[in-house]
Structure 1
Amino acid sequence: MLELTEERVVPKLMKPTNGMLLEHLARYYFATPYIYGRVLDIACGAGYGCHMIAKERKREVTEVIGVDIDPITIRYANREYNHPKIEFRVGDCTDPNLPEQLGMFETIISFETVEHIEDDQQFIENVYQMLSPGGKFIISSPFGQGRGKPTTEPFHVHQLTQQEFEELFTAFSSVEFYYQRGVTFEKTQREGVKYYIGMAVCTK
């Protein structure tokens, strides 16, 4: 049985007013207008986001692939969020063979992933290889003390600074940055307001 932890969002085990749940759902709703074609959700977790995409963009998407490193989580996703357009797979986002295994996508999303991995450069390189020309990559990450620096979050390897986060996407033709506060997203940071989570919409 899939268990609820500080880092795992399982909507069916959470109250609908849970702040973390609402923030995670908001990211998928934010990404919805950009999503089309063949879609990849890296670190898809319990699978609810893939299901949201398949239902909300049923006319725009041809297939949704959800990938997560944890086999138990993928088994849960297959059981709870089965859909004709969705396939869930076990995979490592930093595996150099991932592009060959999964193929090309018009849209790739990955929320709250990069802080969990050592080799964020390989992760971004994999994404770039799998993204079709003109395709969209939407990603979020909490800000912190920087790459290689300790963090108070037990499940995080590190948390990038805002500058480090923005520097991940230099290979893309264009990038738009947003900043999440609760369930809202702001394009411009307001003076005196602390922003903890960044969101990037990247076009290849």
Structure 2
Amino acid sequence: MKLLEWTGERIIPKQMKPTNGMLLEHIARYYFAAPYVQGRVLDIACGTGYGSHMTAKERKREVTEIVAVDNDEETLRYASREYHHQKVTYVQGDATDPELPERLGLFDTILSFETIEHLKDDRMFMDNLYRMLKPGGVLVLSSPFGRGRGMPTSEPFHVHQLTPEQFEELFTGFAEVDIYYQRGVTFEKPRDGIRYFIGVAVCRK
């Protein structure tokens, strides 16, 4: 059985120590989002599928279907094998494809964790998410902070990392927006004297 090669951006829990800080942060985001998840769910850039599988188990009564999308065929094959669940369907797709909303349809909940910093056209991505979210639906999206759109980053897999102000501007079209900040495995509103590196938005259309 061929194993995926772990990189700094592709989380493969079965190849990592359970105390790995990056793994714990990623899992924490799914647990944070769980209370908002219901109905038909989109997990965009699902990676190896552990989060989609975890969400399906955690919210088995509230979820009708989870569509887990990633752009990498090998990763999706791994996800289908290692994180199979009757309510999860793994689909190959490009997050910035303007035809994606027509292809996938509408969702009650959309999850997008550590995705937007990989995309040059983050505005097209946000437009796709908005189009796929039902009225009254909830989007939970996270991203690391950095020097801003179009600026270089020290992370080799990141196109850019938005500033906290640019991050908040992504959600101006939503009816309700709550911004949280992740610190390790905890999520909180901003406090004076603390520098935050990851923002998490909970938005209702």
TM-score relative to the length of structure 1: 0.99
> Which stretches of structure 1, 4 residues or more, deviate above 3 A after TM superposition?
none
Match of 2:98 among 96, 99, 124: 96
Q: Which residue of 1 aligns with 2:156?
A: 154
Provide the rounded CA distance (Å) in 2 between the counterparts of 1:86 and 1:43. Answer: 14
Provide the rounded CA distance (Å) in 2 between the counterparts of 1:3 and 1:136. Answer: 33
Provide the rounded CA distance (Å) in 1 between the counterparts of 2:124 and 2:73. Answer: 22
The one-letter amino acid of 1:197's match is I
Map 1:10-21 to 2 at 5 A: 10-21=12-23
DSSP-derived class of the 1:128 partner: helix
Q: Residue deviations 1:112-171, cap 9 Å, x none?
A: 000000000000100011101100000000000000000000000000000001000111
Provide the rounded CA distance (Å) in 2 between the counterparts of 1:85 and 1:185. Answer: 28
Q: Residue deviations 1:151-201, cap 9 Å, x none?
A: 0000000000000010001111110000000000002x1211110000000
Provide the rounded CA distance (Å) in 1 between the counterparts of 2:183 and 2:85. Answer: 31
Q: Which residue of 1 aligns with 2:168?
A: 166
DSSP-derived class of the 2:155 partner: coil
Q: Which residue of 2 aligns with 1:122?
A: 124
Map 1:129-140 to 2 at 5 A: 129-140=131-142
Match of 2:82 among 73, 76, 80: 80
Q: Which residue of 2 aligns with 1:141?
A: 143
DSSP-derived class of the 1:49 partner: helix
The one-letter amino acid of 1:116's match is H
Q: Which residue of 2 aligns with 1:64?
A: 66
> Is 2:30 the partner of 1:3?
no
Q: Residue deviations 1:51-94, cap 9 Å, x none?
A: 01110000000000100011111111011011110100110100
The one-letter amino acid of 1:135's match is G
> What's the CA shift for 1:3?
1.1
> What's the CA shift for 1:11?
0.5
The one-letter amino acid of 1:196's match is F
Identity of aligned pairs, percent? 67
Q: Gapped runs of 5+ residues in structure 2? A: none
DSSP-derived class of the 2:140 partner: strand
Provide the rounded CA distance (Å) in 2 between the counterparts of 1:9 and 1:23. Answer: 11
> What's the CA shift for 1:2?
1.0
> What's the CA shift for 1:111?
0.2
Alignment coverage as a number of residue pairs: 203
Tell me how large the CA RMSD over aligned residues is: 0.5
> Is 2:192 the partner of 1:194?
no
Q: Gapped runs of 5+ residues in structure 1? A: none
Q: Which residue of 1 aligns with 2:37?
A: 35
